[in-house]
């Protein structure tokens, strides 16, 4: 053999070896023993996006064509819930597959214990390239990611600052666009021989709902329909509802929330802080902002609505800004999908869309979340994965954010660890699963802003039992007869059996999930 031939031979040997290693790393065996390539996972996670504002869920107030396209290509989970309706705990649950008492992240004021097992870590160990870009909100540094770039705390809409392993960085522009551009950049530069996990996490549509430059005047000429419970008086339910501090009418600030500084109108807590985004804007951004808001603000000052009309005006201003933020999320999801389509990767990428909890868009007169009532208990969950999920699938089983980690792991061919309390959702895509849970457990622990008391509870397909345990008080709702949860039937004799059945289920779930006694949880 000539020297040249020897070199060629060694080279071919190397190439064949490399190809084999590549396939060995990228193959996992599906249940039917047909080898399939491990999917990429793109997890798009927003902050406070309620299902009432997603057209695939039947929104009456906006359209979300790109989010809907994921449902058309894949699956929509129509009964998807969180386990603790607040930001950081929901994120900790997504990462660990565990309820708050097990991952020890009960509220927004805790540092996440990044030494625990998370699904990104397990994917990374299995050869995935992992990245996290955008909102993190867990205070400690991310673990399990090859690359990360996170917003500081809650993050800002305009010209946001990021923390990176190399230090702080500020990017000029609109946060949702920036997080997407950084995600696209990482996708373009990554090691294409490995499957990836990318967690692309937006600030939007979190308070203070600052719309992006492209959507500042969207919805200006339309009236958004009001929810039927906008003027809820909280009768026929637990007294604690009346103590809430999250009413559009009483607790929304003209400047801080509604972008109208200097009216002198104070909220029920005596506050009117200025819009915090305005002073972050560059002169060009300010000019755009003023051109959009000044005429609307002028009209308000001329009309000076009072009483219920003021609540109605606030609702319109709030919901329009919230929906404008979502329009930008939806556009940016389109950018990511276009990229995956153009590279041919869409077919074998599991794209999941979700948000850390639901939100009140005027239901019960509220904004914010935290309560176990439907609008903030629900979490959007839509996934597309053309190679693995049949288009147009609709799952009605009760699912929760404890299930995300086991689902992503199973999709990657990794057995979820025992300690994870959720279950993979993949079997639900194939057929009805008779063994699937018919109850979910919920527990809200934080006692802070908005004055929502601690409570836990259980929900079935039809009923919901809530335990306001500081007062040892209970509410029971019949969701079939009373979908808006306007009447507590806990003491109604017609519901004695239901009440007993729900109390039994509540106790059983607390045992199943290994909850400590209520007295010692806190
Ligand atoms: C901020 C908001 C609150 C919100 C919490 C938690 N106030 O403090 O309205 O409930 O975040 O939200 S703000 O005016 O400063 O934005 S969470 O999504 O992070 O849990
Ligand atoms: Ca949130």
pLDDT in tens, 279-308: 999 999 999 999 999 999 999 999 999 999
Q: How confident is the model at residue 11 (pLDDT cuts 50, 70, 90)?
A: very low
Rounded percentage of the chain residues whose pLDDT exceeds 90: 91
The pLDDT assigned to 206 comes to 98
Residue with CA at minimum distance from ligand 1 atom 16? 207
pLDDT at 30 over 60: no
The pLDDT assigned to 472 comes to 93
Rounded percentage of the chain residues whose pLDDT exceeds 70: 92
- The pair of structure tokens assigned to 410 is 């199973």
The pLDDT assigned to 22 comes to 40
404-411 and 87-96 helices, crossing angle to 10°: 30
The pLDDT assigned to 6 comes to 44
Cα 181 to ligand 2 centroid, rounded to whole Å: 22
pLDDT at 260 over 70: yes
For a mutational test of ligand 1's pocket, the pick from 204, 449, 452, i.e. the residue with the most ligand atoms closer than 8 A to its C-beta, is: 449
- Phi/psi of residue 458, each to 5°? -130, 145
Pairing type for strands 40-46 and 349-355 reads parallel
| Cross-strand partners of 34 | none
Q: Work out the mean pLDDT of the chain and round it to a whole number.
A: 93
The Cα angle at residue 151 between residues 146 and 157, in degrees rounded to 5? 140
Cα 135 to ligand 2 centroid, rounded to whole Å: 10
Pairing type for strands 167-170 and 161-164 reads antiparallel
Spell out the residues 6+ positions from residue 103 whose beta carbon is closer than 8 angstroms to its own: 92, 93, 95, 96, 113, 116
pLDDT at 484 over 50: yes
**Is the CB of residue 442 less than 8 Å from the CB of residue 477?**
no
Average pLDDT over residues 464-489: 97
Residue with CA at minimum distance from ligand 1 atom 17? 87
Spell out the residues 6+ positions from residue 283 whose beta carbon is closer than 8 angstroms to its own: none
- 241 DSSP 8-state letter: G
E strands in 192-342: 196-201
Q: How confident is the model at residue 36 (pLDDT cuts 50, 70, 90)?
A: low
Write down all domains in the chain, each with its CATH number in brackets.
Answer: 40-210+323-434 (3.40.720.10), 216-232+239-318 (no CATH), 449-512 (3.30.1120)
Helix (H) or strand (E) holding 251: helix 248-251
The pLDDT assigned to 434 comes to 74
The pLDDT assigned to 9 comes to 40
pLDDT at 33 over 70: no
pTM attached to this predicted model: 0.93
> Which is the closest atom of ligand 1 to the Cα of 208?
16
Place of tokens 């994965």: 385
Instruction: Output the furthest CA–CA distance in the chain (Å, rounded).
Output: 96
Average pLDDT over residues 30-38: 55
Closest CA to 202 of 92, 356, 320: 356
Average pLDDT over residues 61-65: 98
3-state SS, residue 519? helix
Reported as a single tens digit per residue, the pLDDT across 240-254 is 999 999 999 999 999
Spell out the residues 6+ positions from residue 69 whose beta carbon is closer than 8 angstroms to its own: 337, 384
Residue with CA at minimum distance from ligand 1 atom 19? 87
Q: How many other C-beta atoms can be found within 10 angstroms of the C-beta atom of residue 498?
A: 18
Choice among 77-91, 355-369, 427-441, 459-473 with the minimum mean pLDDT: 427-441
């Amino acid at each position: 053999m000539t020297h040249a031939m020897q070199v060629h031979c060694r080279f071919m040997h190397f190439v064949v070896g490399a190809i084999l290693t590549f396939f060995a790393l990228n193959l996992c065996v599906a249940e039917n023993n047909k080898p399939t390539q491990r999917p990429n996972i793109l997890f798009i996670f927003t902050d406070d996006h309620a299902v009432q504002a997603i057209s695939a869920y039947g929104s009456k107030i906006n359209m979300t064509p790109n989010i809907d396209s994921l449902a058309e290509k894949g699956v929509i989970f129509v009964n998807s819930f969180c386990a603790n309706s607040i930001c950081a705990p929901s994120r900790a649950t997504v990462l660990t597959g565990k309820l708050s008492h097990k991952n020890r992240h009960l509220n927004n004021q805790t540092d996440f214990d990044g030494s625990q097992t998370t699904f990104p870590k397990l994917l990374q160990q299995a050869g995935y390239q992992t990245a996290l870009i955008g909102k993190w909100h867990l205070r400690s540094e991310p673990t399990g990611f090859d690359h990360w770039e996170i917003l500081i705390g809650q993050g800002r809409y305009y010209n946001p600052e990021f923390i990176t392993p190399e230090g702080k960085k500020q990017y000029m522009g609109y946060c949702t666009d920036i997080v997407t551009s950084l995600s696209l950049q990482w996708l373009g530069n990554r090691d294409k021989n490995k499957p990836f996990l990318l967690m692309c996490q937006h600030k939007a549509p979190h308070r203070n709902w600052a719309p992006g430059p492209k959507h500042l005047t969207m919805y200006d000429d339309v009236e958004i329909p009001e929810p039927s419970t906008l003027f809820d008086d909280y009768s026929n339910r637990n007294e604690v509802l009346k103590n809430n501090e999250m009413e559009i009418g009483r607790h929304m600030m003209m400047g801080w929330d509604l972008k109208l500084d200097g009216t002198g109108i104070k909220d029920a807590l005596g506050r009117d802080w200025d819009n915090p985004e305005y002073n972050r804007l560059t002169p060009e951004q300010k000019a755009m902002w003023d051109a959009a808001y000044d005429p609307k603000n002028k009209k308000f000052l001329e009309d000076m609505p009072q009483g219920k009309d003021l609540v109605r005006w606030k609702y319109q201003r709030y919901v329009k800004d919230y929906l404008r933020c979502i329009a930008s999320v939806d556009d940016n999801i389109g950018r990511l999908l276009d990229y995956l389509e153009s590279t041919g990767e869409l077919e074998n990428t599991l794209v999941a869309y979700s948000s850390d909890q639901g939100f009140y868009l005027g239901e019960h007169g509220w904004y914010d979340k935290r309560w176990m009532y439907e609008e903030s208990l629900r979490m959007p969950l839509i996934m597309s994965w053309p190679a693995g999920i049949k288009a147009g699938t609709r799952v009605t089983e009760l699912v929760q954010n404890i299930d995300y980690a086991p689902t992503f792991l199973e999709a990657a061919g990794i057995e979820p660890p025992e300690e994870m309390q959720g279950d993979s959702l993949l079997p639900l895509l194939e057929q009805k699963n008779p063994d699937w849970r018919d109850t979910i457990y919920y527990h809200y622990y934080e006692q802070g802003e908005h004055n929502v008391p601690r409570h836990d509870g259980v929900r079935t397909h039809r009923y919901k039992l809530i335990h306001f345990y500081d007062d040892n008080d209970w509410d029971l709702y019949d969701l079939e007869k009373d979908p808006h949860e306007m009447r507590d039937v806990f003491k109604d004799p017609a519901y004695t059996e239901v009440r007993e059945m729900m109390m039994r289920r509540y106790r059983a779930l607390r045992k199943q999930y290994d909850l400590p006694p209520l007295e010692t949880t806190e």
